[in-house]
Amino acid sequence: MPERIIKAFKNAEIEKISHLDYFNIAVSVDCVILGYEDKQLKVLLIKSDLEEFSGLNSLLGDLVRPDEDLDEASYRILRERTGLNDVYLEQVQTFGRLDRHPSGRVVTTAYFSLLDLHHHQLRLSHNDLHWHPVHKIGKLAFDHKDILDSCLHRLRQQVLERPLIFSLLPEKFSLRQLQEVYESILGTELDRRNFRKKVSLKDWLVDLGEMETDVPHRPGKLYKLNPTLKKRLRARLRVS
């Protein structure tokens, strides 16, 4: 099989390189899994078990299996690590630096996903899995800090245009909660009145006619995401 592929890419210089070398590249995916808690955006990390990176955390990744799509692989990792199925997932960028993995050549494709950190189905697969506030993260194993940063950059670009952010919140939420999520992602303070005007113009929200409970102040109205949009979010990630 490998020979067939190399033949398909017939290239003048091909004889200079051993055929097998072309298949010394491994393909992996890495997931930047983001949640929201205590007014902070958090990312799910695991302690690296490579001695080269002892003491450092890394993103959740795995080799892509011979029989699975890239999207499927990232979806599988998410499922294995969190137990969650209906999660927003988006490919961001592929990283292929020669020395990015100490054990050999690994090209990795980064995905980010957003989920409700307090979802009742959330079951972390491993004791060494923990949520870390993204703005407190220093070094990570491999080039994972770069990967994280590129995903956060993409998230910030998209978050005002598309209704992604609701995956971070529980089913019902108040406008204050929603605003706080935006503020933690964008790293800026927003004017409450203008914010409310902006989201109300977008027809993203449905007023539930209910109020917050157990808050130490005047309760606000509760909203949920417009069901049509919710379906559309799910549709994007139907993989397996």
Partner DNA sequence: TACAAATATGTACTTGAAACACATTAACCG
Partner DNA sequence: CGGTTAATGTGTTTCAAGTACATATTTGTA
Binding of residue 188 to DNA (CB under 7 A): no
Query: CB of 119: closest distance to DNA in angstroms?
Result: 23
Binding of residue 96 to a copy of itself (CB under 8 A): yes
Q: Name the phi and psi angles at 207, rounded to 5.
A: -75, 120
Q: Looking at 54, 83, 97, 153, which residue binds a copy of itself (CB under 8 A)?
A: 97
- C-alpha to C-alpha distance for 22 and 24, rounded to whole angstroms: 6
Total of chain residues touching a copy of itself, rule CB under 8 A? 47
Binding of residue 217 to DNA (CB under 7 A): yes
Binding of residue 192 to DNA (CB under 7 A): yes
214 φ/ψ sector (left φ>0, alpha ψ -120 to 50, else beta): left
Binding of residue 185 to a copy of itself (CB under 8 A): no
Q: Looking at 103, 193, 227, 235, which residue binds DNA (CB under 7 A)?
A: 193
Looking at the Cβ atoms of 172 and 197, the one nearer to DNA is 197
Bridge pairing between strands 26-37 and 106-114: parallel
Binding of residue 146 to a copy of itself (CB under 8 A): no
- C-alpha to C-alpha distance for 55 and 117, rounded to whole angstroms: 25
State the binding partner of 121 from DNA, a copy of itself, none, CB within 5 to 8 A by kind. Answer: none
- C-alpha to C-alpha distance for 49 and 141, rounded to whole angstroms: 10
- C-alpha to C-alpha distance for 58 and 103, rounded to whole angstroms: 15
SS3 55: coil
Total of chain residues touching DNA, rule CB under 7 A? 18
Binding of residue 160 to a copy of itself (CB under 8 A): no
- C-alpha to C-alpha distance for 29 and 235, rounded to whole angstroms: 21
Q: Using CB under 7 A as the criterion, which residues of the chain lie in contact with DNA when the complex forms?
A: 174-176, 191-194, 196-198, 201, 215-221
